[in-house]
Amino acid sequence: MNVALASSSHAAIGRRIRVMVVDDAVVVRGLFARWVEAEPDLELVASLSTGTEAVRQVERANPDVVVLDIEMPGIDGITALPLLLAKKRDLVVIMASTVTRRNAEISLRALSLGAADYIPKPSSVREVTISVDFRRELIEKIRQLGMRAIRPRVAPVRSVAPVTPALHASPRPELPAATRDVELLPLPTVTPRVLVIGASTGGPQALNSVVTQIGSVLDHAPVLITQHMPPTFTAILAEHLARVSGHPVREAQDGEEINAGHIFVAPGGRHMKVMRRDGIAVIVLDDGPPINFCKPSVDPLFASAAEIWGHKVLGLMLTGMGSDGLNGARAIVAAGGAMVAQDEATSVVWGMPGQVAHAGLCSALLPLPDIGAAVTRLFAGEHP
């Protein structure tokens, strides 16, 4: 149990986060329930075995967060999801499933239907029982997403400094309390030539929004993405981004050349870096230990991109929990590149972008709908 996080979340919202667990496997359901009950800032309000029971009891139990299994008899998770959201619009639903291609596809589809996030379950009950990392990740997702749902919504940030009319309005507006201490760096005058993106919780939806708006960038520059996802999920994500962007997107392969017009996605379970071989920028996949509890981690991508492309790198930090990517963002800025971050109001969780923003590393802090246009202008050479 993370006592500091539990205390801060309880203080932030003034009450415990109400949790419903829905899973037809009695051992797994019992484990989830006990883990929730062990946290002082979480309250188990229901432990159910079917989607039918969840739909029937959601109004009475009034949970803030539902951990919803995908594969259940009768009404399965993907069928129950819209029924639950119809009964409680602000409900946070975390889809849970073992890692198969079918479940990965269903999980990503669930995000488009309103699920807040997903969590891949270990493949066996024994692995679920002994996995400290899985327990930590589940509780962290419940806590962070629950806090986000309960706390008052933050208004979108349209500007935090008068950098340039193309990216920010002037004069400086009144900011939400969470972002009043954010100071922006000036935008570099050099036109970027490569875009690197980090994302975690809420990332698939955010990536979908961004790649559909940056067609002209994709025509002339490579885009490299590290999204916190397990194997199989990243393959499905790449296929989906290829469909919505109309450009080549694939899981990165070790040693392949990095060419403009392509999007490279870090494969689940391996860190993605870049290096030069014979003067050509190539992908390097690293099977080292997790960094910031993440594999793939954003830090290796950002730091290696800064080393290879220096001031020609534009980094984009999208929604996500934790602080992964912060050190990599420091490397980009130190090399003369620039960072753009998603604002708090449009982030599912303002952890990763918030860390970068509060560290004073951003040249722009923008709502998700504005990011694509801003990135496009920067790659087109529009500078302050």
- The tokens describing 81, both together, are 């999801």
Q: Where are the alpha helices (DSSP H) in the chain?
A: 3-13, 26-37, 51-61, 77-87, 101-112, 125-130, 132-150, 203-211, 215-220, 233-245, 298-309, 326-334, 352-358, 368-379
- One-letter amino acid at 324 equals D
What is the distance between the alpha carbons of residues 113 and 93, in angstroms, rounded to a whole number? Answer: 11
- What is the reported pLDDT for 274? 98
Identify whether residues 276 and 368 lie together within a single domain: yes
Identify whether residues 140 and 184 lie together within a single domain: no
What is the distance between the alpha carbons of residues 168 and 173, in angstroms, rounded to a whole number? Answer: 10
| DSSP type of residue 344 | T
Identify whether residues 43 and 190 lie together within a single domain: no
Write the burial class of residue 200 (CB in 10 Å: 0-12 exposed, 13-18 middle, 19+ buried).
Answer: buried
Residue numbers annotated as active site? 200, 228, 324
The CATH number of residue 131's host domain is: 3.40.50.2300
* Residue finishing a domain among 98, 115, 150: 150
> Taking the C-alpha atoms of 17, 23, 27 and 32 in order, what is their torsion angle to the nearest 10 degrees?
-20
What is the distance between the alpha carbons of residues 13 and 24, in angstroms, rounded to a whole number? Answer: 31
- What is the reported pLDDT for 292? 95
- What is the reported pLDDT for 123? 81
- Do the Cβ atoms of 320 and 200 come closer than 8 Å? yes
What is the distance between the alpha carbons of residues 138 and 121, in angstroms, rounded to a whole number? Answer: 9
Is 166 within the bounds of a domain? no
- The tokens describing 117, both together, are 């996030």
Total domains, the chain? 2
The CATH number of residue 255's host domain is: 3.40.50.180
* Residue finishing a domain among 135, 150, 165: 150
Identify whether residues 183 and 35 lie together within a single domain: no
- Taking the CA of residue 59 as centre, how many other CA atoms within 13 Å lie in the half-sphere pointing to its CB? 4
Domain that holds residue 202: 177-379
Identify whether residues 231 and 369 lie together within a single domain: yes
What is the distance between the alpha carbons of residues 114 and 145, in angstroms, rounded to a whole number? Answer: 13
- One-letter amino acid at 238 equals A
* Residue finishing a domain among 131, 150, 169: 150
What is the distance between the alpha carbons of residues 39 and 296, in angstroms, rounded to a whole number? Answer: 28
Tell me the three state secondary structure of residue 366. strand
Is 183 within the bounds of a domain? yes
Please give the full DSSP string across 134-158, using - where no structure is assigned.
HHHHHHHHHHHHHHHHHSPPPPP-S
State pTM to two decimals. 0.89
Identify whether residues 98 and 227 lie together within a single domain: no
pLDDT in tens, the chain (384 residues): 555 555 555 556 678 999 999 999 999 999 999 999 999 999 999 999 999 999 999 999 999 999 999 999 989 999 999 999 999 999 999 999 888 899 999 999 999 999 999 999 988 888 888 889 899 999 999 999 999 888 766 655 544 443 443 454 333 333 344 445 689 999 888 999 999 999 999 999 999 999 999 999 999 999 999 999 999 999 999 999 999 999 999 999 999 999 999 999 999 999 999 999 999 999 999 999 999 999 999 999 999 999 999 999 999 999 999 999 999 999 999 999 999 999 999 999 999 999 999 999 999 999 999 999 999 999 998 866
Is 85 within the bounds of a domain? yes
- The tokens describing 159, both together, are 């500007």
Identify whether residues 125 and 221 lie together within a single domain: no
- The tokens describing 216, both together, are 């002209």
